């Protein structure tokens, strides 16, 4: 049975943080600092929920995954997508991305955008299989350049990352 996709609720913030923590464990041995990083702060999650920018996937009454996004220029920018390891490989993440694409189209936007690790198999290669293409450095818009500055301020290694776009 396919997952139930629905907006997140304010009372689910701690569950969302737990999903993010569990999903980050995939980075142990690949990027240990990222695996140990704190999940998205409560106020950010609360703001995205209030703005309608956080969708969840529920499987057998278990909150199994979420995607967090916000408008950036002509796109919805995917800030975070996490799936509990027990539900990996069931195309739940792909379904969440398709739901965000539907929201973008309904809002008159033209693309999904994101930034991810270039060489981690469940990051950029996975997004490429879902129709995302890498944006070359000179193709970054002012909004995406601002996101890059935010990443650098958080200490992310931007040399290991790529921005991607999927036209709708």
Tens digits of residue pLDDT in 34-74: 656 788 999 999 999 999 999 999 999 999 999 999 999 99
What pTM does this model have?
0.92
SS3 153: helix
Among the ranges 24-33, 114-123, 158-167, which has the highest mean pLDDT value? 158-167
Q: What is the C-alpha to C-alpha distance for residues 9 and 161, in angstroms, rounded to an integer?
A: 31
Residues with Cβ within 8 Å of residue 33, at least 6 apart in sequence: none
Domains of the chain: 4-167 (3.40.630.30)
DSSP 76-144: EEEEEEEE-GGGTTSSHHHHHHHHHHHHHHHTT--EEEEEEESS-TTSHHHHHHTT-EEPPGGG--HHH
Give the model confidence (pLDDT) of 73-123 as tens digits.
999 999 999 999 999 999 999 999 999 999 999 999 999 999 998 888 788
- What pLDDT band is residue 163 in, cutting at 50, 70 and 90? very high
> What pLDDT does 27 receive?
65
Strands 133-134 and 54-59: unpaired
Contact between 105 and 128 (Cβ < 8 Å):
no
> What pLDDT does 90 receive?
95
- What pLDDT band is residue 31 in, cutting at 50, 70 and 90? low
């Amino acid at each position: 049975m396919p997952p139930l996709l629905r907006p997140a609720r304010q009372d689910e913030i701690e569950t969302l943080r737990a999903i993010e923590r569990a999903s980050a464990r995939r980075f142990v041995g690949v990027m240990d600092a990222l695996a140990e990083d704190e999940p998205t702060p409560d106020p950010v999650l609360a703001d995205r929920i209030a703005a309608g920018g956080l969708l969840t996937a529920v499987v057998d009454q278990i909150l199994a995954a979420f995607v967090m996004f916000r408008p950036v220029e002509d796109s919805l920018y995917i800030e975070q997508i996490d799936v509990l390891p027990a539900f990996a490989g069931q195309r739940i993440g792909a379904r969440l991305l398709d739901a965000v694409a539907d929201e973008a189209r309904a809002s008159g936007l033209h693309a999904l955008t994101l930034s991810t690790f270039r060489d981690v198999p469940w990051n950029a290669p996975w997004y490429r299989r879902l129709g995302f293409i890498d944006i070359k450095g000179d193709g970054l818009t002012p909004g995406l350049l601002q996101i890059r500055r935010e990443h650098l301020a958080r200490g992310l290694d931007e040399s290991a990352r790529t921005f991607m776009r999927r036209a709708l």
